[in-house]
Amino acid sequence: MPVVNSAGRLVLAAAVGAGLLVGGCAEPPRPPAAAVRPPAPAAGPPRPAPAQVPGLGPATRSRIPSGSSQAVVVTGDGPDSPQSTVVLYERDPAAGWRAVSQSWPAHNALRGWSAHHRAGDLRSPIGVYTLSDAGGRLPDPGTRMPYDQTEYFNMPGTGFLGEPLEGSFDYVVAIDYNRVPGNTPLDKRRPLGDDAGGGVWIHVDHGGPTKACVSMDEEDLRQLLVALDPARAPVIVMGDAGTLGR
């Protein structure tokens, strides 16, 4: 039997150590390979923000109900001007607001606009109001709004410039300022009281300023009536350009 002494153990250890060095196993172990992650996809162009109605500032935009996707925007030339323009906008859930009409010329009240309209002040009320009801002396032009046709929509006399008022109420859209929605525009109930005024409509233009209403060319108003859709919860946004821009 072989005799292993202490010297032999030293010789064997040296031989094993030499073999490890020759075989290369004495290299420090490599760390585990890091997990390979696929490259991140290249970022595409940023999606544009939904379009806003031109000319409306944040305060005015915030007053448009979130459920409304149709807005009649009446922009006055100035706080004391009876001249204005009307544009119909519709909101797409992804793209935002877009004009769906041309810019229609219009009149508003003789003395312009007021944020605190009172009966007889000859100013149109500034604000955002729902549009719920329509009517007129002439037959329904094909609107989806509730429409009340009656001969009581008549307006004799003359306007501020001496122009005849006859035919001004052939078509009307009631603006829900100080009125009870869901009723004929002829309904005279005034929730805010008589002193706050009422009977504020979009009606046929007679060629001059109004007392408080907005007036449009008859054919333009016909187009608006046909376009208005109660399912879109339409509103009117009205006031002078400076105020609407806030």
In this prediction, residues 9-14 reach a mean pLDDT of 38
Task: Say if 11 falls within a structural domain.
Answer: no
Q: What's the first-to-final CA gap in the chain, in angstroms?
A: 107
Cα separation, 101 vs 61, in Å, equals 20
Pick from 170, 183, 177, 182: which is nearest to 217 by CA? 170
**What CATH number does residue 215 fall under?**
2.40.440.10
In this prediction, residues 117-125 reach a mean pLDDT of 98
- Residue 34: the pLDDT is 52
Pick from 110, 136, 73: which is nearest to 210 by CA? 110
Token readout for 148 is 């009340």
Residues 6+ apart with CB under 8 A from 217: 104, 105, 204, 205
Pick from 117, 118, 132, 144: which is nearest to 65 by CA? 132
In this prediction, residues 119-134 reach a mean pLDDT of 98
pLDDT digits (tens, 9 = 90+) for 167-223: 999 999 999 999 999 999 999 999 999 999 999 999 999 999 999 999 999 999 999
Task: Say if 15 falls within a structural domain.
Answer: no
In this prediction, residues 230-238 reach a mean pLDDT of 98
| pLDDT at residue 22 is higher than 60 | no
Task: Say if 10 falls within a structural domain.
Answer: no
- Residue 11: the pLDDT is 37
Confidence of residue 47 (pLDDT cuts 50, 70, 90): confident
Task: Say if 127 falls within a structural domain.
Answer: yes
Helices and strands in the chain, H and E counts: 4, 12
Task: Say if 181 falls within a structural domain.
Answer: yes
- Residue 4: the pLDDT is 43
Q: Determine how many CB atoms are found less than 10 A away from the CB of residue 199.
A: 19
- Residue 45: the pLDDT is 74
| pLDDT at residue 8 is higher than 50 | no
Task: Say if 17 falls within a structural domain.
Answer: no
CB 98 within 8 A of CB 70: no
In this prediction, residues 13-23 reach a mean pLDDT of 39
| pLDDT at residue 161 is higher than 90 | yes
Cα separation, 149 vs 140, in Å, equals 7
Confidence of residue 14 (pLDDT cuts 50, 70, 90): very low
Mean pLDDT score across all residues of the chain: 88
Task: Say if 169 falls within a structural domain.
Answer: yes
pLDDT digits (tens, 9 = 90+) for 64-118: 999 999 999 999 999 999 999 999 999 999 999 999 999 999 999 999 999 999 9
Return the half-sphere exposure (C-beta side, CA atoms, 13 A cut-off) of residue 99: 11
Instruction: Please give the tally of structural domains in the chain.
Output: 1
Residues 6+ apart with CB under 8 A from 57: 244, 245, 246
CB 55 within 8 A of CB 245: yes
Task: Say if 213 falls within a structural domain.
Answer: yes
- Residue 66: the pLDDT is 95
- Residue 40: the pLDDT is 66
* Structural domain containing residue 126: 58-244
- Residue 19: the pLDDT is 41
Give pTM, 2 decimals: 0.81
